[in-house]
Amino acid sequence: MKNPIVPTDPGVRRQVLAENADLMLVAFRFETGAKGKLHSHPHVQATYVKSGRFAFSIDGTEHDLGAGDSLIIPSQARHGCVCIEAGTLIDTFTPRRADFL
């Protein structure tokens, strides 16, 4: 069964691709200029840039990422991003984000 695509923030849509209690795989589609607001959560997150360009902030450190780049966001790290060029992020979370279900 395909999970629905849902809006999150202005210009951002999310789709859960696969999940179980231990791991979740999620696609986030961003329009140019859209923001993933600064936040933190207890989950460890890995982010892969499938397409586009993004400026990430993780605990105050800036990262410029393009297609093919990836990074790990530790548990409780305050993070967010701005989409510089429209694209898609593929994120994994462990354990799964129950708030995304």
Report the pLDDT value the prediction gives residue 65, as an integer from 0 to 100.
98
Q: With respect to residue 48, please indicate whether it lies within any of the assigned structural domains.
A: yes
Mean of per-residue pLDDT scores for the chain: 97
Q: With respect to residue 87, please indicate whether it lies within any of the assigned structural domains.
A: yes
20 pLDDT above the threshold of 80:
yes
Kindly provide the b/e burial profile for residues 50-70, where b requires at least 16 CB atoms within 10 angstroms of the residue's own CB. eebbbebbbeeeeeebeeeee
Q: With respect to residue 27, please indicate whether it lies within any of the assigned structural domains.
A: yes
Q: With respect to residue 11, please indicate whether it lies within any of the assigned structural domains.
A: yes
Q: With respect to residue 69, please indicate whether it lies within any of the assigned structural domains.
A: yes
The CATH number of the domain holding residue 79 is 2.60.120.10
Q: With respect to residue 20, please indicate whether it lies within any of the assigned structural domains.
A: yes
Both tokens assigned to 72: 């790990």
Report the pLDDT value the prediction gives residue 1, as an integer from 0 to 100.
67
Q: With respect to residue 70, please indicate whether it lies within any of the assigned structural domains.
A: yes
Which helix (H) or strand (E) element contains residue 100?
A: none
Domain that holds residue 33: 6-94
Question: What's the domain count of the chain?
Answer: 1
Q: With respect to residue 84, please indicate whether it lies within any of the assigned structural domains.
A: yes
- Give 48-85 pLDDT, tens digit per residue: 999 999 999 999 999 999 999 999 999 999 999 999 99
Put residue 17 in one of left, alpha, beta given phi > 0 → left and psi -120 to 50 → alpha.
alpha
Report the pLDDT value the prediction gives residue 100, as an integer from 0 to 100.
94
